[in-house]
Amino acid sequence: MTSKSTSIYKGVRLRKWGRFAAEIRDPICKNRVWIGTFDTELEAAEAYTKKKNEFKEALQSGASCDINGQ
């Protein structure tokens, strides 16, 4: 856990106003992807895990980064 994070879950941090934010690095395009803010730490962690699994499936299917959206 880093000094910026107050969560035991990877990709989840507590915002100043008490909600939990989740974000992840896109392993294909190498950029950060905002997942959202959540009322509970567990909701944020579940959303992070879901997005992580989506990226894993995309990597396995041979997806590539398409910056033009085509």
* Within a domain: 34: yes
Task: Give the CATH number, domain containing residue 39.
Answer: 3.30.730.10
* Within a domain: 46: yes
pTM: 0.81
- Per residue in 27-67, pLDDT tens? 989 999 999 999 999 999 999 999 999 999 998 988 888 76
Distance CA 43, CA 28 (A): 25
* Within a domain: 45: yes
Cβ(36)–Cβ(48) under 8 Å?
A: no
CA dihedral 49, 54, 59, 60 (to 10 degrees): 100
Q: Give which of 62, 61, 64, 68 is closest to 26, Cα–Cα.
A: 64
Inform me whether the pLDDT recorded for 70 exceeds 60.
Answer: no
* Within a domain: 4: no
Count of the separate structural domains present in the chain: 1
Q: Print the domain residue range for 28.
A: 12-60
* Within a domain: 70: no
> By CB neighbour count within 10 A (0-12 exposed, 13-18 middle, 19+ buried), where does 23 fall?
middle
